[in-house]
Structure 1
Amino acid sequence: MTHRTHTQDTPRDAADAAARNRRFGRLPERIRAEDTVETKPATRPDPARDTYHADEWLIRYCG
Protein backbone atom coordinates (compact mmCIF):
# COMPACT_ATOMS: atom_id res chain seq x y z
CA MET A 1 0.00 0.00 0.00
CA THR A 2 1.37 3.39 -0.90
CA HIS A 3 0.85 6.53 1.06
CA ARG A 4 0.04 9.72 -0.83
CA THR A 5 0.72 13.16 0.53
CA HIS A 6 -0.78 16.45 -0.58
CA THR A 7 2.14 17.06 -2.88
CA GLN A 8 1.18 13.96 -4.88
CA ASP A 9 -2.51 14.77 -5.47
CA THR A 10 -3.90 13.73 -8.80
CA PRO A 11 -6.21 15.92 -10.91
CA ARG A 12 -9.07 13.63 -9.83
CA ASP A 13 -8.34 14.40 -6.17
CA ALA A 14 -8.35 18.12 -6.93
CA ALA A 15 -11.69 17.82 -8.75
CA ASP A 16 -13.18 15.86 -5.84
CA ALA A 17 -11.92 18.47 -3.39
CA ALA A 18 -13.44 21.27 -5.48
CA ALA A 19 -16.80 19.45 -5.61
CA ARG A 20 -16.75 18.95 -1.81
CA ASN A 21 -15.89 22.60 -1.30
CA ARG A 22 -18.80 23.71 -3.52
CA ARG A 23 -21.22 21.47 -1.63
CA PHE A 24 -19.97 21.82 1.94
CA GLY A 25 -17.79 24.91 1.79
CA ARG A 26 -20.14 27.24 3.65
CA LEU A 27 -22.59 26.99 6.51
CA PRO A 28 -26.35 26.96 5.88
CA GLU A 29 -28.38 30.12 6.36
CA ARG A 30 -28.91 31.15 9.98
CA ILE A 31 -32.41 30.53 11.38
CA ARG A 32 -33.82 33.24 13.61
CA ALA A 33 -35.16 32.19 17.03
CA GLU A 34 -38.53 33.77 16.19
CA ASP A 35 -38.87 31.39 13.24
CA THR A 36 -38.46 28.29 15.42
CA VAL A 37 -41.57 28.84 17.54
CA GLU A 38 -45.15 28.15 16.51
CA THR A 39 -47.90 30.04 18.28
CA LYS A 40 -51.58 29.17 18.36
CA PRO A 41 -54.39 31.23 19.83
CA ALA A 42 -55.77 29.83 23.08
CA THR A 43 -59.27 28.38 23.00
CA ARG A 44 -61.91 28.52 25.68
CA PRO A 45 -62.45 25.34 27.70
CA ASP A 46 -65.31 23.16 26.47
CA PRO A 47 -67.44 22.22 29.50
CA ALA A 48 -69.00 19.28 27.66
CA ARG A 49 -65.59 17.78 26.97
CA ASP A 50 -63.74 18.67 30.15
CA THR A 51 -66.26 17.60 32.80
CA TYR A 52 -65.11 15.24 35.49
CA HIS A 53 -67.08 12.04 35.90
CA ALA A 54 -66.27 10.22 39.15
CA ASP A 55 -67.50 6.86 37.85
CA GLU A 56 -65.80 7.00 34.46
CA TRP A 57 -63.52 4.11 35.41
CA LEU A 58 -66.61 1.93 35.84
CA ILE A 59 -67.74 2.73 32.32
CA ARG A 60 -64.29 2.09 30.84
CA TYR A 61 -63.31 -1.08 32.69
CA CYS A 62 -66.54 -2.75 33.84
CA GLY A 63 -68.88 -2.01 30.97
Structure 2
Amino acid sequence: MEAQSTVDSAAAARHARFGKLPERIRYEDMVEEKAATPRDAVRDAYDPEGSWMSFSCLAADLGP
Protein backbone atom coordinates (compact mmCIF):
# COMPACT_ATOMS: atom_id res chain seq x y z
CA MET A 1 0.00 0.00 0.00
CA GLU A 2 2.91 2.33 0.69
CA ALA A 3 4.19 1.91 -2.90
CA GLN A 4 0.78 3.00 -4.25
CA SER A 5 0.73 6.16 -2.13
CA THR A 6 4.31 6.97 -3.18
CA VAL A 7 3.32 6.66 -6.85
CA ASP A 8 0.24 8.82 -6.27
CA SER A 9 2.21 11.52 -4.46
CA ALA A 10 4.86 11.50 -7.19
CA ALA A 11 2.16 11.76 -9.85
CA ALA A 12 0.53 14.62 -7.93
CA ALA A 13 3.87 16.42 -7.66
CA ARG A 14 4.51 16.00 -11.41
CA HIS A 15 1.04 17.23 -12.23
CA ALA A 16 1.47 20.25 -9.97
CA ARG A 17 4.73 21.14 -11.67
CA PHE A 18 4.09 20.17 -15.30
CA GLY A 19 0.30 19.89 -15.45
CA LYS A 20 -0.33 23.19 -17.23
CA LEU A 21 1.29 25.26 -19.93
CA PRO A 22 3.30 28.34 -18.96
CA GLU A 23 1.68 31.72 -19.32
CA ARG A 24 1.75 33.27 -22.77
CA ILE A 25 4.32 35.96 -23.48
CA ARG A 26 3.04 38.99 -25.30
CA TYR A 27 4.66 39.91 -28.61
CA GLU A 28 5.53 43.37 -27.25
CA ASP A 29 7.56 41.74 -24.49
CA MET A 30 9.59 39.66 -26.98
CA VAL A 31 10.53 42.48 -29.37
CA GLU A 32 13.07 45.19 -28.67
CA GLU A 33 13.16 48.25 -30.88
CA LYS A 34 16.26 50.37 -31.17
CA ALA A 35 16.85 53.52 -33.14
CA ALA A 36 19.17 53.14 -36.12
CA THR A 37 22.57 54.75 -35.82
CA PRO A 38 23.15 57.74 -38.07
CA ARG A 39 25.44 57.25 -41.06
CA ASP A 40 29.05 58.25 -40.64
CA ALA A 41 29.88 60.45 -43.65
CA VAL A 42 33.63 60.34 -42.98
CA ARG A 43 33.75 56.53 -42.91
CA ASP A 44 31.55 56.16 -46.00
CA ALA A 45 33.37 58.79 -48.06
CA TYR A 46 35.30 57.62 -51.13
CA ASP A 47 38.89 58.76 -51.38
CA PRO A 48 40.29 57.93 -54.84
CA GLU A 49 43.84 58.90 -53.84
CA GLY A 50 43.94 56.65 -50.80
CA SER A 51 41.93 53.76 -52.22
CA TRP A 52 44.89 52.23 -54.07
CA MET A 53 46.50 51.35 -50.72
CA SER A 54 43.74 48.94 -49.80
CA PHE A 55 43.99 46.75 -52.90
CA SER A 56 46.71 44.33 -53.91
CA CYS A 57 47.76 44.48 -57.54
CA LEU A 58 50.34 42.18 -59.13
CA ALA A 59 51.40 44.83 -61.65
CA ALA A 60 52.05 47.33 -58.86
CA ASP A 61 54.06 44.72 -56.94
CA LEU A 62 56.34 44.01 -59.93
CA GLY A 63 57.22 47.65 -60.36
CA PRO A 64 58.17 49.50 -63.59
For the criterion TM > 0.5, the same-fold answer is yes
TM-score range, shorter chain: 0.5 to 0.7
- Superposition TM-score, scaled by structure 1 size: 0.61
Instruction: Determine which structure has the larger helix proportion and give its number.
Output: 2
List structure 1 runs of 4+ shifted beyond 3 angstroms: 51-55
TM-score, structure 2 as length reference: 0.61
**Unpaired runs of 5+ in structure 2?**
none
Larger Rg: 2
Is 1:31 the counterpart of 2:25 in the alignment?
yes
Aligned residues: 51
RMSD: 2.4
How big is the shift at 1:14? 0.1
**Runs of 5+ unmatched residues, structure 1:** 1-8
